[in-house]
Amino acid sequence: MLEVSHGRTSGPSGTDRRGRWPSKLGARLHDHHAVPTAAIVYCSDTWTTAGLADDIADHLGRRGIATRVASIGEIDTDGLAEADYLFLGCWTHGWFVVNQHPVQRWVDWANVLPRLEHPRVALFTTYRVRTGSMFGRMRRVLREKAPRIELELKAKGTHLTDEGHRALDEFLDAGERLGV
Ligand SMILES: Cc1cc2nc3c(=O)[nH]c(=O)nc-3n(C[C@H](O)[C@H](O)[C@H](O)COP(=O)(O)O)c2cc1C
């Protein structure tokens, strides 16, 4: 099992700036025998989405994927375009039954992302009642950046459901078949 590397040492919106991606993210494009890489970046106010990011990271680690987890406040975004898998997460903000959307801090961050041609992208969120328009709104923000958003994961707490784990496995299996 690969060790999962966590960028976070303080709170989810903390000031730790160690957020450089492992150099293998850069090397990966030129080395077809390298292990697949994943970056998981989250926006979380009260740690739930951060916890879900960790749960996803643990799962990827068990699948032999070199994974880095960080909050949007502690990461340099340039290396993200080189990851094989990119998981972008934000907590669900809205009026609980309608108007769910990512928080402005995430939108501002997403708007300055590089173009994400290479990574297979997944979105994730945590919520209490329903996610409603959340993923649609995240997709709209990423429209010009990420042509390949292939998975949406949601949880009411810090752990994926069995169904979520299955969907994640299918996403990774498809990546393996494509030679990621
Ligand atoms: C101001 C506010 C608005 C929220 N709006 C919604 C909502 O529209 N739908 C929903 O299901 N949960 C909503 N929630 C619940 C959060 O999405 C949920 O608690 C989430 O897991 C928090 O993530 P975090 O701990 O990473 O910050 C809202 C919470 C707050 C504080």
Q: Is 95 in the pocket of ligand 1 (CB under 6 A)?
A: yes
How far, in Å, is the centroid of ligand 1 from the Cα of 172? Answer: 28
Q: Is 47 in the pocket of ligand 1 (CB under 6 A)?
A: yes
How far apart are the C-alpha atoms of 59 and 89, rounded to whole Å? 16
pLDDT at residue number 14:
37
pTM above 0.85, yes or no: yes
How far, in Å, is the centroid of ligand 1 from the Cα of 57? Answer: 22
Q: What is the pLDDT of residues 123-150, one digit of tens each?
A: 999 999 999 999 999 999 999 999 889 9
Helix axes 104-111, 134-142, angle to 10 degrees: 30
How far, in Å, is the centroid of ligand 1 from the Cα of 78? Answer: 29
Atom in ligand 1 nearest the alpha carbon of residue 51: 26
How far, in Å, is the centroid of ligand 1 from the Cα of 114? Answer: 28
Q: What is the pLDDT of residues 4-60, one digit of tens each?
A: 666 543 333 433 333 445 444 444 444 555 899 999 999 999 999 999 999 999 999
How far, in Å, is the centroid of ligand 1 from the Cα of 43? Answer: 12
Structural domains in the chain, CATH included, are: 4-24+34-177 (3.40.50.360)
The mean pLDDT value for 60-87 works out to 94
pLDDT at residue number 7:
56
pLDDT at residue number 26:
43
pLDDT at residue number 49:
98
pLDDT at residue number 98:
95
Q: Over the chain, what HEC string results?
A: CCCCEECCCCCCCCCCCCECCCHHHHHHHHCCCCCCEEEEEEECCCCHHHHHHHHHHHHHHHCCCEEEEEEHHHECCHHHHHCCEEEEEECCECCCCCCCECCHHHHHHHHCCCCCCCCEEEEEEECCCCCCCHHHHHHHHHCCCCCCEEEEEEECCCCCCHHHHHHHHHHHHHHHHCCC
Best of 71, 93, 106, 159 to mutate for ligand 1, by most ligand atoms within 8 A of CB? Answer: 93
Atom in ligand 1 nearest the alpha carbon of residue 42: 26
Q: What is the pLDDT of residues 51-63, one digit of tens each?
A: 999 999 999 999 9
Please, which pLDDT band fits residue 71 given cuts at 50, 70 and 90?
very high
Helix axes 48-62, 162-177, angle to 10 degrees: 50
